[in-house]
Amino acid sequence: MKQALTVLFEIFLGASTWWLVPFKCLYVFGLYGLFRKCGVKPWKAFIPFVRNYELAVCADHEMEGRVVLVVNFLDMVMTLIGDGIGIHYPTAVVLLVTSFALALTVIDLIYTIRISAGLCEIFQRRKRWIFMWFIFSGVTAAIWGWSKKFQPSIKVENMREDALKIVRGTTEQTAIGEGLSVNITERTVMEFFQKKYLLRDISMNIKPGHMVLLLGGSGAGKTTFLNAVNGYEKAKAKVLLNGKDIYSDYKKMQYQIGFVPQQNLMRGKDTIIHTVNDAALMRLPTNVPPQDRRDRENEVLDIFGLGASKTHHVEKLSGGQLRRLSIAMEFISNPSLFILDEPDSGLDGVMARELMTQLRKIADQGKIVIVITHTPDRVIDLFDDVIVLAKDSHRTGRLAFFGSIDEARAFFGCDSMEKIVMSINAKDAGGEGRADEFVRKYAERNAEVSNG
């Protein structure tokens, strides 16, 4: 019975020694009050591991809190394992486990000091309190949590809002009758008990017949943006295609949207015509007559230069032929909106140019074509507009620009698309770290146009 209670105390209070239990209870009691002051739900003080993470959030050191959460959990596991390890395992294993536990202790110490320093800043207290948090955590938490003299200078919800509010973002666009209207308020996920913003405040109107380059550095949210636009991963947004809501009428609108991913999703043993036929059965409405479906299949194969080799097996095709077949599979439904994620990946300059020229012809038919490519400058003359997404200083995908190619060059002061990406990329990624500057600049320009 005593051993079971010891385990419970270790899990819920972090105290396996009985005389420490009152101090740990005092620590939890103090955190309850402190969380109330900081705007964190106070009941989280009773949840093991989570409470130390939320304490880090109160200190505006959320990333350090993630590390402490994991370390505390591993430390608890190591403590429980270590109770009997000396009896059942060889000395080498004991030393290994002990070394790992020591490493966890050192990491916990370093990050606890960082969090304590952050708390001192938020509560505007002298750094000597860091020592108090480390040595007398229970008493210190109780004082900070329940003394009226200790008040945070900013609450958690305001920290998060400040982190997001470089500017409120682009002004919402009035929908156009023909074309694509995108108004994304936010795209979020839950991560470590809180909402994480992947995208925020992205608005634009794209006219029919336009071929649009989607530009942005790694992690800027390009694929997330495309998935939000085509309805695959819904955001808090309103997306209209030719006046029809993609989200609310997705089953009907999916035939109007073609999406070509990076990977070629085809069976190597199938022939080209068999592959396109399978795509037609999935992409075309069920009421299309068989002869009309076959005519459309042959038409698409001819458009992409695959008609003469339609009996060839997929595994025998070149890289360029594979990409054209992948595009043909999505184009079979004659979509109004055509989205391609790196269609020229792995192709040489000549083949990439040929493929992009074909996409230009599709746009000229009155379609909207949106393309991600990592080598934009070699085909930039084929595009009408460019969307530039940037990851701001708080790791949220924001709209840094939307407009024509020439306008983009002038806006960023760059003569190439690659230099534009370098200007918005973070410094630790080899860029200039100017994402916030251009997000703000574009939002202000957009507001002036809307109010003008």
- Please give the pLDDT value at position 14: 53
- pLDDT tens for residues 263-283? 676 677 778 888 888 878 887
Of the candidates 50, 15, 18, the residue with the CA atom closest to the CA atom of residue 35: 50
- What is the DSSP annotation of 243-297? TEETTTTHHHHGGGEEEE-SS----TTSBHHHHHHHHHHHHS-TTS-HHHHHHHH
Contact 393, 164 (CB under 8 A): no
Output the pLDDT for position 136.
82
The pLDDT value recorded for residue 166 is: 47
Note the pTM of the prediction, 2 decimals. 0.69
Largest CA-CA distance found in the chain, in angstroms, rounded: 84
Do 143 and 244 belong to one domain?
Answer: no
| 172 and 154 assigned to the same domain | no
Same domain (yes/no): 140, 181: no
Residue finishing a domain among 162, 190, 222:
162
Whether residue 315 sits in one domain with residue 296: yes
pLDDT of residue 368: 95
Q: pLDDT tens digits, residue range 328-384? A: 888 888 889 999 888 887 777 788 888 889 899 999 999 999 999 888 999 999 999
Are 119 and 200 members of one domain? no
The answer to whether 145 and 33 have CB atoms below 8 angstroms apart is yes
Domain edge (last residue) among 142, 162, 182: 162
pLDDT attached to residue 295: 86
Q: What confidence score (pLDDT) does residue 386 get?
A: 96
Q: Do 421 and 399 belong together in one domain?
A: yes
Pick from 130, 121, 243: nearest CA to 177: 243
The answer on 183 and 314 residing in a single domain is yes
Q: Which residues of the chain have pLDDT under 70?
A: 1-21, 78-91, 93-94, 157-176, 191-194, 263, 265-266, 449-452
Tens-digit pLDDT profile for residues 428-447 = 777 898 988 899 899 888 87
Question: In angstroms, rounded to a whole number, what is the distance separating the alpha carbons of residues 185 and 164?
Answer: 12
Clarify whether residues 115 and 231 are in a common domain. Answer: no
Domain with 228 in it: what CATH number? 3.40.50.300
Number of domains in the chain: 2
Q: How many CB atoms are closer than 10 A to CB 450?
A: 13
Q: Count Cβ atoms below 10 Å from residue 323 Cβ, excluding itself.
A: 24
Same-domain pairing of 25 and 113: yes
Last residue of a domain, one of 162, 181, 214: 162
Domain that holds residue 81: 2-162
* Same domain, yes or no: 34 and 125: yes
Instruction: Tell me, yes or no, whether 47 and 111 share the same domain.
Output: yes
Please give the pLDDT value at position 172. Answer: 65
Residues 232, 358 share a domain? yes
Q: What is the pLDDT of residue 189?
A: 81
